[in-house]
Structure 1
């Protein structure tokens, strides 16, 4: 069975997101831990979180995927921005324990002309500060398109971060189909080859979730512009192969396409078919 969902608004709480996901025929979903363009987080209602946990068990939800805000940059050039990122991630991971055993996904960050090697070291340093043995959340590095000075533009950069993290059992990877395509990995013509390379460099056991998106750009464009499924350069046929691939088909798939809820419902139905 395909495990698929989309990004939902967390403003009304966990239980509301769960009910919205079920209405869309989804069995997972993603949500921002706080305003994606800001730093403030709404206080979590413990009763709401408990009600969602019970609801999710009844409706056979698989792991949900929280998303860190875009403003979090662990490898920023300015120390105060790195401190802001560290404190935000630490708070998010504390909050994630209201829904234990799920995933927390983040963009590794932009090194801002410090160089990828320096960026990788700073990202790993933050992770080593905030990860703890007691946490139940697995933190996912997201594959990036490689625009500007993004870290994570190829599998080797993600592997370098993972190698420098002490609590490696708390780490994984989220593969974004638009991002890897824009980074130059041709998942339309050679999905098996791309996954073989991922396995060689990182290991498929580290792959925990998929962001399922088409792309408005050609392969290798390094631009990161998502498209609806089948309306971009990757194409429906290729994304069908992604969701049906034996190495991927049991993972949670999250749609991040430019859609409203009705559009997500159509895409979920289409991909389930």
Structure 2
């Protein structure tokens, strides 16, 4: 059975993310533990965490991912930003442990002048400062690759996994890959991209996919998501990706728009149609 869900809100309490997931027909999911636009600590009470854990167990919902703050920049050469980023990530992995969530997802960030090699070293060493609880894994996410942001190339992901002493894995975002120049719009392109990822990083490290179509052309480095099958990746590319034999068991999390009268529920159903379920 396909594991497909969406990024749902914890407004009103973390258990509400489970209720929303059930409403849209999802069976796995992702949350922020707080507003991703500010430096803020997760504030999750013991009772709230226990209710969340009970709900996901009762409804067989999982795996779940915590998406880290957008302010986190692991590649930064700036000591103050690095310290804030590491502190924020430590609080996220601790929150994941409290909630029984398996993964914490993070972008590498931008090297802002440190250079690619320096930025990758910064990211790996920052991750090495974390005390990651047993049962929690940090996922490094692929990026659209604009400016000095790292993670757009599969080699960046492989290098961080290699340079870090932590047991890290990867989250791929289809819109980000497409924006970074990996053409997923045809079955042939999907096959080539998956083969390249396997060769460079290794499919054994792929634990989650952010499933999004793209509003912009391949290789533009522009990160703007579209409804599944309605962007420039399109139906053929999405169908090929969803049915690729090496990806059938990878959990999928939607970060698609909620516009044009098409909700997360619409996109969940669209994914199931394209998968042939």
What TM-score do you get using the length of structure 1 for normalisation? 0.94
Alignment check: 8 A CA contact 1:212 1:254 kept: yes
Which residue matches 1:234? 233
Alignment check: 8 A CA contact 1:183 1:219 kept: yes
SS at 2:263 equivalent: helix
Which residue matches 2:256? 257
Which residue matches 2:43? 43
1:155 pairs with 2:139: no
Which residue matches 1:248? 247
Q: Distance in 2 between matches of 1:203 and 1:161?
A: 13
Which residue matches 1:144? 143
Q: Which runs of 5+ in 1 are unaligned?
A: none
Deviation at 1:42, TM superposition (A): 4.1
SS at 2:210 equivalent: strand
Q: Distance in 2 between matches of 1:33 and 1:112?
A: 27
1:220 pairs with 2:198: no
Which residue matches 2:28? 28
CA distances 1:108-142 after superposition (whole Å, capped 9, x unpaired) = 1100121110100000011111044x432110000
Deviation at 1:101, TM superposition (A): 4.9
CA distances 1:71-94 after superposition (whole Å, capped 9, x unpaired) = 111122321111110111111111
Which residue matches 2:201? 202
Judged with a 3 Å threshold, the aligned counterparts in structure 2 of structure 1 residues 262 and 14 are, in CA distance, closer, same or farther, namely farther
Q: Which runs of 5+ in 2 are unaligned?
A: none
Q: Distance in 1 between matches of 2:164 and 2:113?
A: 23
User: What are the residue-to-residue correspondences of 1:4-153 with 2, within 5 Å?
Assistant: 4-132=4-132, 134-153=133-152
Q: Distance in 2 between matches of 1:140 and 1:223?
A: 22
Of 198-207 and 254-263, the range deviating more from structure 2: 254-263
Q: Distance in 1 between matches of 2:134 and 2:34?
A: 20
Q: Distance in 2 between matches of 1:2 and 1:262?
A: 21
Judged with a 3 Å threshold, the aligned counterparts in structure 2 of structure 1 residues 60 and 27 are, in CA distance, closer, same or farther, namely same
Q: Distance in 2 between matches of 1:161 and 1:206?
A: 12
Deviation at 1:167, TM superposition (A): 2.4
Of 192-201 and 245-254, the range deviating more from structure 2: 245-254
Deviation at 1:262, TM superposition (A): 5.9
Deviation at 1:236, TM superposition (A): 2.0
Alignment check: 8 A CA contact 2:30 2:67 kept: yes
CA distances 1:151-174 after superposition (whole Å, capped 9, x unpaired) = 111011111100011122xx1100
Deviation at 1:41, TM superposition (A): 2.8
Q: How many residues align?
A: 270
CA distances 1:15-38 after superposition (whole Å, capped 9, x unpaired) = 211111111110011111221111
Q: Distance in 1 between matches of 2:64 and 2:12?
A: 16
Q: Distance in 2 between matches of 1:140 and 1:196?
A: 20
Deviation at 1:211, TM superposition (A): 0.5
Q: Distance in 2 between matches of 1:258 and 1:20?
A: 16
Alignment check: 8 A CA contact 2:111 2:150 kept: yes
